[in-house]
Amino acid sequence: MPIRYRQARAMAALLFSLLMLPAAALGAGLDLRQLHELRQVGEVVASPDGRWVAYTLAVPRELFVEDDGPAWTELHIADANGVSRAYVSGQVNVRAIGWTPDSATVTFLAKRGDDEVRGLYGIDVGGGEARRLLAHATALKDYSLAPDGRQAAFIARTAETEADKEARKHGFTQRVYEEDVRPFRLYVADLGADGEPRELPLEGSAQEVQWSPAGDRLAVKVSPRELVDDVLMNSRIHLVDVAAGETLGVVRTPGKLGRMAWAPDGGHLALVMGADGSDPREGRLAVVGRDGGEPRDLLPGLEGHVWHVAWRDRDRILYLSYEGVQARLGEIGRDGRRDRTIVDEGPIWRSLSVSADGKVVALSADTPAHPPEAFRLEGRDRPQQLTVSNPWLADVELARQEVVRYRARDGLEIEGLLIHPLQRAGEGRVPLILAVHGGPEAHYSNGWLSSYSQPGQAAAARGYAVFYPNYRASTGRGVAFSKLNHGRPAAEEFDDLVDGVDHLVSIGLVDRDRVGITGGSYGGYASAWGATRYSERFAASVMFVGLSDKISMLGTSDIPTELYRVHYLTWPWENWALYREASPIFHAANSRTPTLILHGEADPRVDRSQSMILYRYLKLLGQAPVRLVLYPGEGHGNQRAASRWDYTLRLMRWMDHYLQGEGGEPPPYPVDARAAWEPAGQ
| pLDDT at residue 425, as a whole number | 86
Q: What radius of gyration do the chain's Cα atoms show?
A: 26
H-helix or E-strand spanning residue 373: strand 370-378
Residue from 113, 68, 69, 121 nearest 94 by CA: 121
CA angle 514, 520, 524 (to 5 degrees): 65
Q: What stretches of 23-94 adopt beta strand conformation (E)?
A: 40-46, 52-59, 72-79, 84-88
* Residue 430: other Cβ atoms inside 10 A: 23
pLDDT at 682 over 60: no
Is the separation of the CB atoms in 594 and 654 below 8 Å? yes
Measured distance CA(152)–CA(119) in Å, rounded: 12
Is the separation of the CB atoms in 665 and 9 below 8 Å? no
Residue 25's contacts (CB-CB under 8 Å, 6 or more residues apart) are none
Is the separation of the CB atoms in 485 and 473 below 8 Å? yes
| pLDDT at residue 681, as a whole number | 41
Residue from 470, 475, 118, 128 nearest 302 by CA: 475
* Residue 242: other Cβ atoms inside 10 A: 18
> Is residue 607 assigned to a domain?
yes
Q: Find the Cα–Cα–Cα–Cα dihedral 606, 612, 616, 622, rounded to 10°.
A: 80
Taking the CA atoms of 108, 112, 118 and 119 in sequence, report the sign of the dihedral they define: negative
| pLDDT at residue 18, as a whole number | 31
- 146 dihedral zone (left: phi>0; alpha: psi -120 to 50; beta): beta
Measured distance CA(60)–CA(39) in Å, rounded: 7
* Beta-ladder partners of 268: 289
Angle between helices 522-531 and 492-506 (to 10 degrees): 70
* Residue 402: other Cβ atoms inside 10 A: 11
pLDDT at 388 over 90: yes
pLDDT at 667 over 80: yes
Residue pLDDT, tens place only, 63-72? 999 999 999 9
Burial of 253 (0-12, 13-18, 19+ CB in 10 A): buried
> Is residue 339 assigned to a domain?
no
The domain tally of the chain equals 1
Measured distance CA(321)–CA(309) in Å, rounded: 9
| pLDDT at residue 9, as a whole number | 39
Measured distance CA(238)–CA(222) in Å, rounded: 7
| pLDDT at residue 160, as a whole number | 87
> Is residue 526 assigned to a domain?
yes
Is the separation of the CB atoms in 256 and 232 below 8 Å? yes
| pLDDT at residue 379, as a whole number | 86
Residue 124's contacts (CB-CB under 8 Å, 6 or more residues apart) are 104, 105
Backbone angles phi, psi at 425, to 5 degrees: -80, 100
Q: Find the Cα–Cα–Cα–Cα dihedral 162, 163, 164, 169, rounded to 10°.
A: 90
User: What pLDDT band is residue 19 in, cutting at 50, 70 and 90?
Assistant: very low
Domain that holds residue 492: 3-33+397-673
User: What pLDDT band is residue 20 in, cutting at 50, 70 and 90?
Assistant: very low
Eight-class DSSP state of 383? P
User: What pLDDT band is residue 355 in, cutting at 50, 70 and 90?
Assistant: very high
pLDDT at 5 over 60: no
Residue pLDDT, tens place only, 473-506? 999 999 999 999 999 999 999 999 999 999 999 9
Q: Share the mean pLDDT of the chain.
A: 94
> Is residue 618 assigned to a domain?
yes
Residue 514's contacts (CB-CB under 8 Å, 6 or more residues apart) are 4, 429, 430, 431, 432, 539, 659, 660
Most distant CA pair in the chain, distance:
78
Distances, alpha carbon 514 to alpha carbons 28, 215, 537, in Å = 23, 62, 9
Residue 54's contacts (CB-CB under 8 Å, 6 or more residues apart) are 43, 44, 45, 47, 75, 76, 77, 97, 99, 106
Residue pLDDT, tens place only, 525-570? 999 999 999 999 999 999 999 999 999 999 999 999 999 999 999 9
> Is residue 459 assigned to a domain?
yes
Residue 171's contacts (CB-CB under 8 Å, 6 or more residues apart) are none
**What is the edge-to-edge ordering of all strands in the sheet holding 257-262?**
257-262, 268-273, 284-289, 296-297
Residue pLDDT, tens place only, 619-661? 999 999 999 999 999 999 999 999 999 999 999 999 999 999 9
Of 540 and 23, which is predicted with more confidence? 540
The domain that contains 551 carries what CATH number?
A: 3.40.50.1820
Is the separation of the CB atoms in 510 and 465 below 8 Å? yes
| pLDDT at residue 22, as a whole number | 38
> Is residue 316 assigned to a domain?
no
Is the separation of the CB atoms in 75 and 88 below 8 Å? yes
* Beta-ladder partners of 187: 154, 199
| pLDDT at residue 253, as a whole number | 97
Q: How many CA atoms lie within 13 A of 44 on its CB side?
A: 31
Residue pLDDT, tens place only, 174-185? 999 999 999 999
| pLDDT at residue 380, as a whole number | 77
pLDDT at 255 over 50: yes
Taking the CA atoms of 495, 498, 500 and 505 in sequence, report the sign of the dihedral they define: negative
Residue pLDDT, tens place only, 145-154? 999 999 999 9
Is the separation of the CB atoms in 310 and 330 below 8 Å? no
Residue pLDDT, tens place only, 592-616? 999 999 999 999 999 999 999 999 9
Measured distance CA(350)–CA(402) in Å, rounded: 20
Taking the CA atoms of 63, 65, 71 and 73 in sequence, report the sign of the dihedral they define: negative
Is the separation of the CB atoms in 521 and 604 below 8 Å? no
The verdict on whether omega for the bond into residue 440 sits within 30 degrees of 0, i.e. cis, is yes
Is the separation of the CB atoms in 598 and 650 below 8 Å? yes
- 590 dihedral zone (left: phi>0; alpha: psi -120 to 50; beta): alpha
User: What pLDDT band is residue 28 in, cutting at 50, 70 and 90?
Assistant: confident
Eight-class DSSP state of 529? H
H-helix or E-strand spanning residue 232: helix 228-234
> Is residue 154 assigned to a domain?
no
| pLDDT at residue 25, as a whole number | 36
Distances, alpha carbon 142 to alpha carbons 97, 364, 554, 565, 660, in Å = 10, 21, 31, 28, 49
Residue pLDDT, tens place only, 311-346? 999 999 999 999 999 999 999 999 999 999 999 889
> Is residue 529 assigned to a domain?
yes
Residue 201's contacts (CB-CB under 8 Å, 6 or more residues apart) are 245
- 166 dihedral zone (left: phi>0; alpha: psi -120 to 50; beta): alpha
| pLDDT at residue 103, as a whole number | 97
Is the separation of the CB atoms in 119 and 134 below 8 Å? yes
- State the distance between the two ends of the chain, measured CA to CA, in whole angstroms: 42
User: What pLDDT band is residue 193 in, cutting at 50, 70 and 90?
Assistant: confident
Residue pLDDT, tens place only, 102-122? 999 999 999 998 899 999 999
Eight-class DSSP state of 557? S
